């Protein structure tokens, strides 16, 4: 196994079974990583062309860690809580807004204006040609210059920063709201005499809170209201 190895799920599980010298069902391994993504703990890479999940050595280490802890009778929530202490997890990519209002393709606008000009040119009488031509040339010259590659990267970066800031703020708010719940709603019974924080319930509350408020908060942050 080399650092450059990438596996699809079936090959990934086969490699695990060879390493562990035992049989783990593909659905079990797939369930581990689906749960990590659902709880926004660890992101699985995808192929660019088919968006199919692919696994690398980092995922392999995580799978071995989970398997070891399961053999030690750890619960999945407990394993997920301990996982960041074992390895640096892969963060989730920032979703790009494909319809961001302030990103304008100047070249497309220019092309549309030129097409409109030539159509008008053919329809108007000869006496109006220069007047119309001057009008559209003025419009073309008044358009801003296309963004440079550096400006596009900076614009994309700022958009990512805004998204992350909003998401982090909402997560902080969700944690504060969660702390206001009665202890019996935030905890679950473990054994006969001990209680611990219900991590699954807490994570679900935080995800729901962020999803519920994200669009409105992002609009306010970007002055789109």
Of the residues 116, 142, 168, the one at which a domain ends = 142
Confidence at residue 81, expressed as pLDDT on a 0 to 100 scale:
95
Q: Are 76 and 43 members of one domain? A: yes
- 133 and 177 in a common domain: no
Q: Which of 64, 89, 77, 85 is nearest to 13 (CA)?
A: 64
Say if residue 199 is in the same domain as residue 132. Answer: no
Q: What pLDDT does 107 receive?
A: 67
Mind listing the pLDDT tens digit for each residue in 117-174?
767 676 665 556 666 667 767 776 777 778 788 888 887 888 888 888 888 888 999 8
pTM: 0.43
Specify whether 154 is located in the same domain as 134.
Answer: no
Q: Residue 174: inside a domain, yes or no?
A: yes
Tell me what pLDDT residue 137 has: 74
* 93 in any annotated domain: no
pLDDT reported for residue 187: 84
Q: Dig out the tokens for 114 from the structure.
A: 């030129």
User: Tell me: the pLDDT tens digits for 64-115?
Assistant: 999 999 999 999 999 999 999 999 999 998 865 444 444 455 667 777 777 7
Q: Are residues 78 and 123 in the same domain?
A: no
Name the residue with higher pLDDT: 155 or 7.
7
pLDDT in tens, 46-68: 999 999 999 999 999 999 999 99
Is position 122 within any domain? Answer: yes
- 100 domain residue, yes or no: no
**Domain check: are 66 and 119 in the same one?**
no
Identify each DSSP E strand in the chain by its residue range.
Answer: 45-46, 53-54, 187-190, 194-197
pLDDT of 89 reads 95
In a domain, 91, yes or no: no
Residue 37 CA to residue 113 CA, distance in Å, equals 46
Residue 30 lies in a domain: yes
Mark whether 174 and 132 lie in a shared domain. no
Q: What is the pLDDT of residues 169-191, one digit of tens each?
A: 889 998 988 888 888 788 877 76
| CA end-to-end distance (rounded Å), the chain | 53
Q: Are residues 160 and 205 in the same domain?
A: yes
Span of 6-15, 84-93, 145-154, 202-211 with lowest mean pLDDT: 145-154
pLDDT at 102: 43
Domain count across the chain: 3
Final residue before a domain boundary, out of 123, 142, 161: 142
Looking at the structure, tell me whether residues 119 and 55 fall in a common domain. Answer: no
Question: CATH number, domain at 55?
Answer: 1.10.1660
Question: Is the residue at 97 inside a domain?
Answer: no
Least confident of 11-20, 57-66, 190-199: 190-199
Residue 30 tokens, joined: 């797939």
Shared domain for 59 and 113, answered yes or no, is no
- CA dist., res. 198 & res. 77, Å (int): 9
Question: Higher model confidence: residue 2 or residue 129?
Answer: 129
pLDDT at position 100: 46
Please tell me whether residues 133 and 157 are part of one structural domain: no
Range of the domain at 62: 9-86
Return the SS3 of 159: helix
130 and 199 co-located in one domain: no
């Amino acid at each position: 196994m080399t650092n450059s190895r990438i596996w699809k799920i079936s090959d990934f599980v086969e490699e695990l079974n060879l390493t562990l010298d035992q049989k783990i069902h593909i659905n079990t391994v797939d369930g581990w990583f689906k749960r990590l993504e659902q709880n926004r703990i660890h992101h699985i890479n995808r192929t660019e062309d088919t968006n199919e999940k692919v696994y690398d050595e980092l995922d392999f280490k995580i799978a071995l860690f989970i398997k070891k802890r399961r053999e030690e009778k750890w619960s999945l929530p407990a394993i997920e809580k301990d996982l960041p202490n074992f390895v640096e997890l892969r963060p989730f990519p920032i979703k790009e807004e494909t319809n961001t209002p302030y990103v304008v393709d100047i070249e497309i606008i220019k092309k549309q204006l030129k097409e409109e000009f030539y159509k008008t040119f053919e329809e108007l009488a000869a006496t109006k040609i220069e007047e119309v031509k001057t009008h559209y040339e003025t419009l073309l010259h008044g358009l801003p210059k296309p963004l440079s590659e550096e400006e596009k990267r900076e614009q994309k970066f700022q958009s990512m920063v805004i998204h992350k800031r909003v998401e982090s703020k909402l997560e902080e708010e969700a944690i504060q709201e969660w702390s206001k719940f009665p202890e019996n709603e935030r905890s679950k019974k473990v054994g006969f005499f001990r209680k611990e924080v219900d991590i699954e319930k807490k994570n679900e509350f935080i995800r729901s809170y962020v999803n519920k408020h994200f669009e409105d908060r992002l609009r306010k942050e970007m002055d789109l209201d």
